[in-house]
Amino acid sequence: MKPSMNIVIAALLCAGAAAWAQTSPYAGQEQRAIKALSNQEVSALLAGQGAGFAKAAELNGYPGPMHVLELADRLTLSAEQRSATQRLMSEHKERARSLGAGVVNAERELDNIFAQRTAAPDAVETATRRVALLQAELRAEHLKTHLAQTALLELEQVRLYGVLRGYAEGGAGLHNNADHHQK
């Protein structure tokens, strides 16, 4: 093979490798402080945001306090309901922020095991279980808050909430939680 042909082949191989690296779904994520979490995910966890943790409740007819407060006038919340919802939201945010910080710290610890090249099966098992347990506690916190919020509302308010949020005419899941009212 001529030297110029070797140069062409080498250039093509380099170009192909560069193109592949650019299409890798993880490209750029190696720069993250915690590889498994984007900055946006870290911010959401630390702020106590829902991040989809309560979809099972929300999409099955169990309203969440943040959106209930946003829709308070249209739902014609009583002063008592509004106050109870604000209190529920405040208490929930405090717990969710604390649990979210725990998830971030646990993910950081797991990341450090690999970053420091000290990953061993037992350490990985322990660290991933800690992450999963905290994620489960955080998700349960969000879901239980939807249960508590639903108990503060009348059935018609729950139905209207679904309509206002754009869920299947507002009837999604109501047949499953018609006895939600626990006052």
What local confidence, expressed as pLDDT, does residue 26 receive?
Answer: 87
Tell me what pLDDT residue 14 has: 63
Contacts of 180 (CB under 8 A, 6+ apart): 62, 150, 151, 153, 155, 158
User: Same domain for 53 and 127?
Assistant: yes
Residue 60 vs residues 75, 88, 159: alpha-carbon distances, Å: 18, 20, 11
For the chain, which ranges sit under pLDDT 70?
Answer: 1-3, 5-6, 8-22, 168-183
CA distance 47 to 75: 26
Domain span at 61: 32-170
Tell whether 8 and 78 lie within a shared domain.
no
**Together in a domain, 143 and 84:** yes
Could you tell me if 44 and 55 lie in one domain? yes
Task: Examine the domain organization and report whether 66 and 84 are in the same domain.
Answer: yes
Question: Does residue 181 fall inside a structural domain?
Answer: no
Number of domains forming the structure of the chain: 2
Closest CA to 101 of 130, 127, 123, 134: 134
The alpha-carbon radius of gyration of the chain (Å, integer) is 24
* Token output for 49: 């945001």
Q: Could you give the count of Cα atoms lying within 13 Å of 107 in the half-sphere of its Cβ?
A: 20
Same domain? 90 vs 146: yes
CATH of the domain at 85: 1.20.120
For residues 125 and 109, membership in a common domain is answered with yes
Pair (81, 1) in one structural domain? no
Place of tokens 């690999």: 114
pLDDT single digits (tens) 30-73: 888 999 999 999 999 999 998 899 999 999 999 999 999 999 99
- Cβ distance 173 to 59 under 8 Å? yes
pLDDT of 1 reads 57
The amino acid occupying position 66 is M
Residue 48 makes CB contacts below 8 A (sequence gap 6+) with 92, 93, 94, 95, 96, 97, 100
